[in-house]
A and B are shown apart, each in its own frame.
Chain A
């Protein structure tokens, strides 16, 4: 089965940049999507197809994908960005797969 590995936690000061990685075998050949989940709420799509943003998502959220690692970057971090973040891909053998999740803490 296809596995996506994320760091359990990332801490960042307000105004700084947070980078969340998502590791998977040859993930660069797949389309990666990212979700933000605030406590007690449903996930919200923040990046799709590696680097595209849905309408309403700030430009501070960006994504990249190459080799064995995809990355979600949050620039100029705000207190409201504190949440869990999940990457997701589709794999022909495993269907829809989510990453292990990363908790972003704003210091």
Chain B
């Protein structure tokens, strides 16, 4: 079955960077977009950006421009999300989720989701 498995929880100090991984299985890795979504404690879902695992093209929401980098490794079917210059407000659960088949319209859904990775930013 299609599955996304994320790396474990992280604790970082303010100003540091964090890199979260998301390993895909059960389908051809390069045929679907992968999105990253975060959820602060007790808050709603916030879309961060998207990566095309085939050509490595990315698009980030303006809020994270300059601080987020999404990459992929096709040899291991893994995508990565790195967030730099961390601050306390970045404390959240970070999810990866599979999006549309590459070439399909943008107005698509997220399914499935990874289990989430808690990133805690604290001095």
Contacts and interface: CB of A to CB of B under 8 A. Distances in A.
B111 A90 contact: no
B70 to A, nearest CB: 14
Interface stretch (A15-23, A41-49, A72-80): A41-49
B80 interface: no
Interface in B1-49: 35, 37, 44-47
A70 interface: no
Contact of B45 (A30, A89, A101): A101
A25 B110 CA distance: 22
Contact of B111 (A48, A95, A96): A48
Given A30-B107, A89-B107, A90-B107, A98 B113 contact: no
Nearest to A54: B111
- Determine chain B's interface SS by DSSP, over half rule: loop
A98 B109 contact: no
Given A43-B95, A98-B46, A88 B113 contact: no
B106 A43 contact: no
A34 to B, nearest CB: 9
Nearest to A100: B44
A96 B113 contact: no
Interface of B: 35, 37, 44-47, 50, 59, 61, 95, 97, 106-116
20 contacts: A30-B107, A31-B107, A33-B109, A35-B45, A42-B95, A42-B114, A43-B110, A43-B113, A45-B110, A45-B112, A54-B111, A86-B44, A88-B45, A88-B109, A95-B47, A95-B61, A96-B47, A98-B46, A99-B44, A101-B44
Given A30-B107, A98-B45, 15 more contacts: A31-B107, A33-B110, A35-B45, A43-B110, A43-B113, A44-B112, A48-B111, A49-B109, A88-B110, A90-B108, A96-B47, A98-B37, A98-B44, A98-B46, A101-B44
